């Protein structure tokens, strides 16, 4: 394979999961990347998802969680959010793949006649495509960490295990490492940690020709030495490579915890790299200290519609925490199902919070409740941040309740409304016109990824960002119609952010309000613990100031 020659240096770490799903493989991968970075290495993180969707863009957030969007407009698994937050390395299109995408490429090639008459099979054609993904677009990274989604034993995962086995065979074991993340269940009646499921899971991996080099054991209680020895012996892994991964109070504790257990030292040892020097994790210690002893606590309501799975708001949750860290405050989020605000008075539900955030969303359910929350925030001068759908709802609220246009709405929900928010069928991307059709595909066709936005000089947004031009990530199909700009202006809602061509309102602000901002983009996707997003820093500060008034 030619790509190998291109980069003789990169080492590949494959992270698989066993026993049960939701073990936090993404977090484990991100944490390992962070501690390797702290040792001075350059890292890259990748996610391989065995499901058949081409990307998670069309999946219900209540099932799959948040759809993370990269600068280059890829809709990807939320683990890419962990990767970016922990490593600070912006993820790219080439860092996320699914079986759907792999098959799409194989079938496209087959149609083009690329395979010169061969019978197309899972091995080698699908596995080769997976290998190509793993090895592509790498320059001078020291480590490429590839997380395989799902659990060992899943039918969908088999081609991935075969592909990573082949990569290890071809690159050599000194350039590859297999880390298996498992669960040690604790049986309280017996007072014992059980290693059997891990043993079975490793046996399953071995059936695919993969011998893990390290086992990362998720556990509620410390692993007794004799159990570690047993695991090492039966799983054919060095004892010091059986790593304890205890549940942590904060996800930002995880790199410190893993490093404390010797994970990065053992990884370096595996690759014959210097391993004795201590890892400098002082920046992680710094944020943990703030999280452990904040100067105060502030409550912020998130009024959304995907409350049955809070993973749907993963980046948002983290961005609020980052805003808190920057202000040395603990942010307590009150998750409010917007439908509740359709049955009950907003003042009953929101009277104990210092700020209100309405996040992104799709579809009708719960929208009236969001509008009620926004009205309450506007009237009682409670700091408000509306993100994407939340901004669109804020514009509708102003149009209905200040401008008196009772049927103001979005064509996403009602074709016959006064279309203050309408479908975007044309927009500019880097000088090229993007065109969409009303009845076109839903997958991958939104206005996605990073776009520039010009800020109105002197506006609150410009003050917060400290600049007049920003770039933010987007994921929307509808837009505030620019023709309502003057009407909004008269109502005190000013458009303070615009796409560079002046066609798309990107930010609105209420004038007669201490802190009321709606943004068409998703600032939460770019917030990181060490680079908190300015909007969240300012929003949390406004919440703190408001809490002091109460
Ligand atoms: N549903 C809205 C749109 O497509 C908002 C999308 C979002 O909140 N991400 O424009």
pLDDT for residue 434: 87
pLDDT in tens, 148-192: 999 999 999 999 999 999 999 999 989 999 999 999 999 999 888
Read off the pLDDT band of 549 (50, 70, 90): low
477 Cα–ligand 1 center, Å? 6
Percent of the chain exceeding pLDDT 70 equals 98
Report residues whose beta carbon is within 6 angstroms of any ligand 1 atom: 360-362, 388-389, 412, 475-478
Q: Whose CA is nearest to atom 7 of ligand 1?
A: 360
Interval 505-511 mean pLDDT: 97
- Nearest ligand 1 atom, CA 387: 8
255-290 as b/e: b if 16+ CB within 10 A = bbbbbebebbbbbbbbbebebeeebebeebeebbeb
Segment 102-138, tens digit of pLDDT: 999 999 999 999 999 899 999 999 999 999 999 999 9
Residue 486 CB neighbour total at 10 angstroms:
10
Q: What is the DSSP string of 85-115?
A: HHH-PPP-GGGEEEHHHHHHHHHHHHHHTTT
DSSP 526: G
Does residue 550 carry a pLDDT above 80?
no
Taking each helix axis from N to C terminus, what angle separates 158-171 and 127-135, rounded to the nearest 10 degrees? Answer: 60
Burial of 132: CB neighbours in 10 Å, binned 0-12, 13-18, 19+: middle
pLDDT of residue 7: 57
Task: List, in order, residues 6 or more apart from 192 with CB less than 8 Å away.
Answer: 186
Contact by Cβ (8 Å): 472, 450? yes
Nearest CA to ligand 1 atom 5: 389
359 Cα nearest atom in ligand 1: 8
75 CA → ligand 1 middle, Å: 14
Note the maximum CA span of the chain.
75
Atom of ligand 1 nearest to the CA of 446: 4
The arithmetic mean of pLDDT across residues 301-309, rounded, is 93
pLDDT at 547 over 50: yes
Ligand 1 atom nearest residue 522's Cα: 9
Mutate to test the pocket of ligand 1, among 306, 360, 521 (most ligand atoms within 8 A of CB): 360
Residue with tokens 């793993």: 134
Residue 142's nearest CA partner among 21, 224, 264, 58 is 264
Indicate the SS3 state at residue 363: coil
CA of 270 to the centre of ligand 1 (A): 46
Task: Work out which ligand 1 atom sits closest to the CA atom of 424.
Answer: 10
**Residue 8: per-residue pLDDT:** 62
Compute the radius of gyration of the chain from its Cα atoms: 25
CA 474 to centroid of ligand 1, rounded, Å: 9
Structure tokens at 109: 């090639």
Q: Note if 524 is an active site residue.
A: yes
- Give per-residue pLDDT as tens, 431-457: 888 888 888 888 888 999 999 999 999
Cα 411 to Cα 434: distance, rounded to the nearest angstrom? 20
Q: Are strands 493-498 and 505-510 parallel, antiparallel or unpaired?
A: antiparallel
Q: How far is the centre of ligand 1, averaged over its atoms, from the C-alpha of 447 (Å)? A: 10
Q: CA–CA separation, 406 vs 418, rounded Å?
A: 9
Q: What is the pLDDT of residue 53?
A: 93
d(C-alpha 255, C-alpha 274), whole Å: 19
Residue nearest to atom 8 of ligand 1 (CA): 360
**Least confident segment among 143-147, 263-267, 427-431, 499-503:** 427-431
**Predicted TM-score (pTM) of this structure:** 0.94
Separation CA 332–CA 330 (nearest Å): 6
Distance CA 318, CA 44 (A): 21
Instruction: Kindly list the distances between the CA atom of residue 375 and the CA atoms of 364, 383, 399, in Å, as whole numbers in the listed order.
Output: 18, 12, 11
Pocket test for ligand 1, best of 387, 423, 448, 476 (most atoms within 8 A of CB): 476
* Nearest atom of ligand 1 to the alpha carbon of 361: 8
What is the atom index within ligand 1 of the atom nearest the CA of 479?
Answer: 10
522 Cα to the center of ligand 1, angstroms: 10
Cα 520 to middle of ligand 1, angstroms: 8
Which of the residues 75, 412, 524, 533 is marked catalytic? Answer: 524
Q: Which two tokens stand for residue 80?
A: 């890419």
pLDDT at residue 78, rounded to an integer: 94
- Average predicted confidence (pLDDT) for the chain: 94
pLDDT reading at 196 higher than 70? yes
pLDDT tens, 279-294? 899 999 999 999 999 9
Task: Tell which one of 412, 481, 519 to mutate to probe ligand 1, the residue whose CB is within 8 A of the most ligand atoms.
Answer: 412
DSSP 8-state code for residue 483:
G
pLDDT, one tens digit per residue, over 386-407 is: 999 999 999 999 999 999 999 9
The alpha carbon of 353 and the centre of ligand 1 are apart by a number of angstroms equal to 25
* pLDDT at res. 443: 84
Q: For residue 373, what are its two tokens? A: 């929350």
How far, in Å, from the CA of 543 to the mean position of ligand 1? Answer: 25
Q: Which of 444, 478, 479 to mutate to test the pocket of ligand 1 (most atoms within 8 A of CB)?
A: 478
Q: How many angstroms separate the alpha carbon of residue 105 from the centre of ligand 1?
A: 29
N-to-C CA span, the chain: 65
421 CA closest ligand 1 atom index: 10
Is 388 among the catalytic positions? Answer: yes
Chain-centroid distance of CA 369 in Å reads 26
CB neighbour class for 190 (10 Å; exposed up to 12, middle 13-18, buried from 19): exposed
Share of the chain above pLDDT 90, in %: 87
Which of 303, 312, 389 for a ligand 1 pocket mutation test, highest count of atoms within 8 Å of Cβ?
A: 389
Rounded Cα distance between 232 and 235, Å, is: 5
Spot the catalytic one: 388, 476, 479, 506: 388
The residue-averaged pLDDT of 319-330 equals 97
Backbone angles phi, psi at 27, to 5 degrees: -65, -40
Lowest mean pLDDT among 297-311, 383-397, 514-528: 297-311
* Residue 125 a catalytic site member: no
Per-residue pLDDT at 175: 95
């Amino acid at each position: 394979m030619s790509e190998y020659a291109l980069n003789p240096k990169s080492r590949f770490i494959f992270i698989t999961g066993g026993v049960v799903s939701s073990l936090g493989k993404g977090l484990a991968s991100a944490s390992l990347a962070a501690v390797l970075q702290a040792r001075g290495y350059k890292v890259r993180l990748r996610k391989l998802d065995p499901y058949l969707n081409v990307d998670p863009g069309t999946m219900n957030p209540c099932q799959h969680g948040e759809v993370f969007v990269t600068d280059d407009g890829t809709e990807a698994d939320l683990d890419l959010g962990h990767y970016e937050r922990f490593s600070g390395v912006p993820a790219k299109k080439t860092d996320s793949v699914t079986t759907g995408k792999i098959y799409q490429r194989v079938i496209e090639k087959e149609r083009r006649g690329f395979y010169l008459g061969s019978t197309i099979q899972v091995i080698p054609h699908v596995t080769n495509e997976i290998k190509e993904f793993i090895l592509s677009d790498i320059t001078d990274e020291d480590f490429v960490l590839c997380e395989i989604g799902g659990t060992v034993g899943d039918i969908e995962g088999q081609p991935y295990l075969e592909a990573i086995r082949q990569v290890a065979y071809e690159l050599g074991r000194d350039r590859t490492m297999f880390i298996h993340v498992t669960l040690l269940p604790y049986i309280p009646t017996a007072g014992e940690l059980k290693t059997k499921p891990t043993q079975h899971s490793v046996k399953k991996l071995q059936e695919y020709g993969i011998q893990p080099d390290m086992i990362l054991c998720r556990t509620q209680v410390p692993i007794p030495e004799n159990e570690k020895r047993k695991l090492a012996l039966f799983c054919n892994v060095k004892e010091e490579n059986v790593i304890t991964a205890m549940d942590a109070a904060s996800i930002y504790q995880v790199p410190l915890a893993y490093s404390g257990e010797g994970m990065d030292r053992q990884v370096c040892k595996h690759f014959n790299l210097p391993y004795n020097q201590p890892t400098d994790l002082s920046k992680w210690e710094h944020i943990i200290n703030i999280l452990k002893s904040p100067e105060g606590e502030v409550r912020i309501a998130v009024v959304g519609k995907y409350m049955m799975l809070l993973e749907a708001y993963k980046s948002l949750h983290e961005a609020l925490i980052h805003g808190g860290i920057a202000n040395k405050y603990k942010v307590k989020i009150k998750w409010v199902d917007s439908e509740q605000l359709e049955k009950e008075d907003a003042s009953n539900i929101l009277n104990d919070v210092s700020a209100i955030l309405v996040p992104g969303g799709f579809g009708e359910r719960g929208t009236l409740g969001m509008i009620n929350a926004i009205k309450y925030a506007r009237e009682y001068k409670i700091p408000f941040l509306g993100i994407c759908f939340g901004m669109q709802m804020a514009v509708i609220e102003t149009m209905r309740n200040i401008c008196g246009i009772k049927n103001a709405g979005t064509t996403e929900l009602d074709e016959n409304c006064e279309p203050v928010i309408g479908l975007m069928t044309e927009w500019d991307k880097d000088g090229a016109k993007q065109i969409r059709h009303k009845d076109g595909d839903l997958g991958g066709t939104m206005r996605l990824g990073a776009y520039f936005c010009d800020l109105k000089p002197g506006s609150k947004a410009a003050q917060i960002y400290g600049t007049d031009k920003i770039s933010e990530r987007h994921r929307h199909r509808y837009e505030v119609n620019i023709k309502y700009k003057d009407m909004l202006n008269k109502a005190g809602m000013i458009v303070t952010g615009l796409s560079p061509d002046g066609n798309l309102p990107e930010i609105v602000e209420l004038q007669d309000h201490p802190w009321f901002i709606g943004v068409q983009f998703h600032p939460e996707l770019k917030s990181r613990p060490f680079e908190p997003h300015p909007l969240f820093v300012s929003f949390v500060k406004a919440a703190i100031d408001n809490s002091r008034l109460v």
